[in-house]
A and B are shown apart, each in its own frame.
Chain A
Amino acid sequence: MKSMGTKKFGPMILPVIAAIIFSLVLSSCGNSSQGGPTNTPSETTPTQTAEDTNTESALAEPVETAQAGPAERSDYELPLVSEPFTIHIWAPTSAQIQKTMTNLKESYYYKELESRTGVSVEFTHPSLGQELEAFNLLISSGDFPDILELQPGLTYPGGLDKGISDGVILRLNELIDQYAPNYKYFLDTMDVVAKEASTNEGNYAAFYSISVDGPQPPWMGMVVRKDWLDDLGLDTPATFDDWHEMLTAFKEQKGAVAPMMLQNYGYVPLDIFHGGYGFANSGQYFQIDNVIHYAPLEDGHKEYVEMMAQWFSEGLIDPDFASKSDFTPAKDYTTTGKTGAFWEMYHVISSNYDLATEDGYELIAVPTPSKTEGEQLHVRQTNTTTGMVSWALTSAASDPEKIVKWIDYGYSPEGDILAAYGVEGVSFEYGDNGKPAFNELIYQNPDGLNLAEAYNYYAKHGGAVAYHWDREYAGQPAVNLNAQPIWMQNNDGAWMLPPITLSTQEGEEHALIYSDIQTYVQEMVVKFITGQEPMANYDQFVDQIRSMGIERCIEIQQSALDRFNSK
């Protein structure tokens, strides 16, 4: 029998094995690629990436902010170049862009920019969802474009100082002094920009987008069903007790299956809900009077978790939150009466109305709840003055002088308006108050572009710009416009961390200790909330975090914060 088995099927087995081995090889190749959107367990912030320690050179070459720069911004004589000149840019895009353009250079903005400056651009876009992998491959390939668009999480591994010392990224200090008077104007006149846009070693490594009117107000916060509040005779909730009453009513009288939404880590993202308990964790740490704190060690955090566990057991929280990682809750919840309280970006609030399945559907932004009425809070979604997007020049840049001038044109009065609003008479007009405002081409686009698509086609998408966040306000319905003041009314966001950076050594040490702690905390917080772990064990949980070495992590963060403050 046995001999029959091997003899008879011997020849047939060989190709089968070959096929299997082949498929194994293929699948193991596939494993190395990172597929699609993933449920990423760590919330690393851009500011946490490590930077090289070489403090000596920092002393040798301080940031030259003291030097007198031009008092005014000035326009360029156009065109900038006499010969045709092309700049190669690597930049991630978005689904919105890819709907309307295959390459950003096709946009009205870049065509107009080319006709004005004589400089043409050529973009390379990574596939959506593969940005990080594409970026790392690009860096290791050594085949660089002129400009790299950097974003949170998409930055030179080891930090920009390391990028400069590795000879990949150009140090811009001298180039900015000589060829970028308009960008320099912002560095000289806005202290916070000079601080945020320079590295630990005092290098300017990239052109940052700058919110010229100061940091943008919070763009995300909590909203609730206004029509339900009115039906139930409830006021806008101010305290956590008010929230409890409201959510109970949503559940019992409105039949909401998930009265309040929550993300799989057990928090509403970006610190927009739990500020009343006096802790923040979207940037992993927070600071009070320049002293670093770690949320799970705070008493307020314990109270928060206890409250959420209680609410969960009462059915006031989305029963499926533990498996949801959506940035904002899915529309099949927010617009159907399944939930009555969730978080939303301010300019998206009204878009829920169009999809609503219930008559009279109405939303209202609500302030951060506090423990007692009338408290001033310090934790919310905040923004830095320098936007997170920046353009760095690489060592492969063919003509840094021309490229720097071309970028600086975007910060000049004329280039600034072009980048923010497009062309006068085409996409915007000057209003009676002398301020530019988009026209119908943007708001009721004849080609069917929606608002965001129209912005990105007629004005500049991302990159290094002087950013006017109020350009989005015109044409917004009242419910959207009212949201930001409401989210700020009792909350100054003063405890959030500024963009601090660790040195390479610090970064490695911190990552080694912190990644286990992070996994432990994420897991335990959810278990406390869902009741898999009794609250009685919370103190053991804190002891465990301490024994895993959180104190050392806090020390490292503290020194990075001190360094930032003394810049």
Chain B
Amino acid sequence: MIRKDFRKNWVIYLIALPVIVFFAVFAYAPMVGVLMAFQSYQIKGGIFGSPWVGFKNFLDFFNSYYFGRLIKNTFLLSFYDLLLGFPAPILFALLMNELRGVKYKRVVQTITYMPYFISVVVIAGIIKDFFSSSGAVTLLLGSITGSTSNMIGDAANFRGIFVGTNIWQFLGFNSVIYMAALAGVDQELYDAAALDGAGRLGKAIHVTLPCIMSTIVILLILRIGNLLTVSFEKVLLLYAPSTYSVSDVIMTFTYRKGLQEFNYGYSTAVGLFNSVLNFLMLISANAISKKFTETSLF
């Protein structure tokens, strides 16, 4: 059967080959590294020469003083990011869709994309500067609240600043997918809705949203599958001892263990734990979505 298909469609198989090789080399081969989680990894011995320690690395992590806090911080930071950061590009795309001036639309789009292309190192520098005691944002808010103390160094503000700036960074770029979906909406549906007496809002709610709903759901599922993977570089660049209590997340902990203390096995175990949680969440989100919306990844 396959042989027959192959003979008939060999060109298509050939086209698919680079993709298969790509995933084999860059996505599947590195998975062997997961074995390090069960080893006391030595650079010289490598994965096949290091002694096995069973679940010791996992137990060390579960018994670590900060285990509970790491989980909580990671989850909350991602959760707020999802709660506020996920709907923002959808709303933005809907608003852009209502704009009729093409030039104005382009200018707005370009400006909102921009932050996405700035290196996260620069972004972090900008954020630190704007939220310092003499920073633009601090002074602006200070004129209302009356307090101009440093904001980014205060644990109470960290999550807000992190999520808020994330929205600013990704709003334009993430809305591209929705815009593409919006462009595919059949114009006839709008005309029909107009005949039925729908205004702009009515059209947005009854035509546009349902049409892009499957895109939204798919992206939401993917996003949930990544819930415990916060943008690690940004946290690393923004956090400081004064904000550890809310900003120290699983990935930064892994970084300190792996790259600063050379504790590769331990670090991998923590990373693997994180991935397993992500995977479970992806599966459950997918199952829930399948049940209620008939849209699912697999």
Asked if A pairs with B, the answer is yes
By beta carbon, the residue of chain A nearest B210 is: A1
- In the complex formed, the residue of A with least CB distance to B42 is A158
Asked if B256 and A9 sit within 8 Å, CB to CB, the answer is no
Residue among A31, A44, A511, A522 making CB contact with B244, cutoff 8 Å: A522
Query: Is B197's CB within 8 Å of the partner chain A?
Result: no
A320 to B222, CA, bound (A): 38
CB of B257 within 8 A of chain A? Answer: yes
Residue of B nearest to A156 (CB): B43
Expressed in whole angstroms, the minimum distance between the Cβ of B19 and any Cβ of chain A is 9
| Closest chain A residue to B184, Cβ basis | A12
Q: Which residues of B are found within 8 Å of A511, using beta-carbon distances?
A: 261, 263
* Residue A102 CB within 8 A of the other chain: no
Expressed in whole angstroms, the minimum distance between the Cβ of B3 and any Cβ of chain A is 26
Whole-angstrom distance between the Cβ of A9 and the nearest chain B Cβ: 6
Taking CB as reference atom, which chain A residue is nearest B133? Answer: A319
* Measured CA separation A34–B256 after assembly (Å): 11
A321 to B154: give the CA distance in the assembly, Å.
11
Please tell me which stretch of A13-21, A216-224, A373-381 contacts chain B, meaning at least 4 of its Cβ atoms lie within 8 angstroms of it: A13-21
In chain A, positions 316-333 with a C-beta closer than 8 Å to chain B are 319-323, 325
Is A433 an interface residue when CB atoms closer than 8 A count as contact?
A: no
Which one of A35, A40, A257 lies within 8 Å of B233 (CB-CB)? A35
Inter-chain CA distance A166–B184, complex, in Å, is: 61
Q: With A5-B210, A9-B214, A36-B121 in contact, is A515–B257 under 8 Å at CB?
A: yes
Asked if B180 and A323 sit within 8 Å, CB to CB, the answer is no
The reply to whether A157 and B43 form a contact with Cβ atoms under 8 Å apart is yes
A566 interfacial by beta-carbon distance below 8 Å: no
Contact A37 B152, beta carbon cutoff 8 Å: no
User: How far is A164 from B66 in the complex, measured between Cα atoms in Å?
Assistant: 36
User: Which of the segments A131-139, A228-236, A350-358, A553-561 contacts the partner chain?
Assistant: A131-139
Given contacts A133-B259, A526-B241, contact A39 B236 (CB under 8 A): yes
Question: Quick one: which of B203-257 are within 8 Å of A by CB?
Answer: 210-215, 218-219, 222, 226, 229, 232-233, 236-245, 248, 251, 255-257
State in angstroms the CA–CA spacing of A322 and B46 once bound together: 40
Contact of A323 among B64, B226, B240, B244 (CB under 8 A): B240
A523, B44: Cβ atoms closer than 8 Å: no
Contact (Cβ within 8 A) B46 A42: no
A322, B153: Cβ atoms closer than 8 Å: yes
Question: Do the beta carbons of A132 and B259 come within 8 Å of each other?
Answer: yes
| A5-B242 contact given A40-B260, A320-B153, CB 8 Å threshold | no
Question: Is there an interface contact between A5 and B244, defined as CB atoms closer than 8 Å?
Answer: no
Chain A 513-557, CB-CB to B under 8 Å as 1, else 0, gives 001100110110111001010000000000000001000000000
Q: A16-B177, A29-B26 are in contact. Are A5 and B44 (CB under 8 A)?
A: no
CA of A140 to CA of B45 in the docked complex: distance in angstroms? 9
Q: A16-B180, A31-B232, A323-B128 are in contact. Are A42 and B256 (CB under 8 A)?
A: yes
Question: Contact at B241–A9, with CB atoms within 8 Å?
Answer: no
Once the chains bind, are B222 and A24 in contact (CB under 8 Å)?
Answer: yes
Contact A136 B43 (CB under 8 A): yes
Return chain B residues, CB-CB under 8 Å to A264.
Answer: 153, 240-242
What secondary structure prevails in chain A residues at the interface with B? helix
A82 proximal to B (CB < 8 A): no
**Quick check: is B97 within 8 A (CB to CB) of the other chain?**
no
Contacts of A208 in B (CB 8 A): none
Interface mask (A191-210 → B, CB under 8 Å = 1, otherwise 0): 00000000000000000000
Evaluate contact between A322 and B295: CB separation under 8 angstroms: no
Q: Is B297 an interface residue (CB 8 A)?
A: yes
Shortest Cβ gap from B157 to chain A (Å): 11
One of A25, A38, A522 near B26 (C-beta < 8 A)? A25
Secondary structure at the B interface, as helix, strand, loop or mixed, is helix
Is B120 an interface residue when CB atoms closer than 8 A count as contact? yes
Contact A526 B242 (CB under 8 A): yes
Interface string of B60-88 (1 = CB under 8 A from A): 10001110000000000000000000000
Of A158, A516, A519, A548, the most chain B CB neighbours within 10 A belong to: A519
Question: B101-118 interface mask toward A, CB cutoff 8 Å, 1 = contact, 0 = none?
Answer: 000000000000000000
The yes or no answer to B55 lying at the interface (CB within 8 A) is no
Residues of B within 8 A of A8 (CB): 184, 186, 211
**Across-interface contacts of B132 in A (CB, < 8 A):** 320, 323
* A29, B31: Cα distance in complex, Å: 12
Decide yes or no whether B150 CB sits under 8 A from chain A.
Answer: yes
A62 within 8 A of B: no
Q: Which residues of B contact A97 (CB under 8 A)?
A: none
A6-B294, A6-B295, A527-B242 in contact; A515/B261 too (CB < 8 A)?
Answer: yes
B215 and A16 within 8 A (CB): yes
Q: In the assembled complex, how far is the CB of residue B55 from the closest CB belonging to chain A, in whole angstroms?
A: 15
A512 at the interface (CB under 8 A from B): yes
CB atoms of B256 and A41 under 8 A apart: yes
Alpha-carbon gap, A13 to B181, bound state (A): 8
B284 to chain A, nearest CB (A): 18
Known pairs A13-B214, A519-B66; A39 contacts B237 (CB<8 A): yes
Q: Is the CB of B44 within 8 A of A168?
A: yes
Q: Which residues of A contact B255 (CB under 8 A)?
A: 34
B181 touches which of A12, A24, A522, A525 (Cβ 8 Å): A12
> Which of B23, B60, B177, B295 has a CB less than 8 Å from the CB of A5?
B295
Cross-chain contact A6 with B66 (CB below 8 angstroms): no
Chain A residue nearest to B156 (CB atoms) is: A532
Provide the bound-state CA to CA distance between A37 and B297, in Å.
38
Using Cβ atoms and an 8 Å threshold, which residues of chain B touch A467? none
Which residues between 86 and 145 of chain B lie within 8 Å of chain A, taking CB atoms? 119-121, 128, 132-134
A304: interface (CB < 8 Å): no
> Which of A9, A39, A166 is within 8 Å of B239, CB to CB?
A39
Whether A523 and B241, one on each chain, are in contact in the complex, defined by CB atoms closer than 8 angstroms, is yes
Q: How far is the CB of B158 from chain A (nearest CB, A)?
A: 10
User: In the complex, are the beta carbons of A42 and B260 less than 8 A apart?
Assistant: yes
Tell me, yes or no, whether B262 is within 8 Å of chain A by CB. Answer: yes
What does the 1/0 interface line of A284-304 toward B look like (CB < 8 Å)? 000000000000000000000
> Could you list 7 examples of A-B contacts with CB < 8 Å?
A42-B260, A320-B150, A320-B153, A321-B153, A322-B241, A508-B40, A523-B242
8 closest Cβ contacts across the A-B interface? A322-B153, A322-B242, A166-B44, A522-B241, A323-B153, A319-B133, A516-B65, A526-B242
Sample of 11 more A-B contacts, CB < 8 Å, known A5-B295, A13-B214: A8-B186, A16-B181, A16-B215, A36-B121, A36-B237, A44-B260, A322-B154, A323-B150, A516-B65, A530-B242, A532-B242
Chain A residues proximal to chain B, CB less than 8 Å: 1-2, 4-6, 8-9, 12-13, 16-17, 19-20, 24-25, 28-29, 31, 34-42, 44, 132-133, 136, 139-140, 157-158, 162, 166-168, 257, 264-266, 319-323, 325, 508, 511-512, 515-516, 519-520, 522-523, 525-527, 530, 532, 548
B residues near A (Cβ < 8 Å) are 23, 26-27, 40, 42-44, 46, 60, 64-66, 119-121, 128, 132-134, 149-150, 152-155, 177, 180-181, 184, 186, 210-215, 218-219, 222, 226, 229, 232-233, 236-245, 248, 251, 255-257, 259-263, 293-295, 297
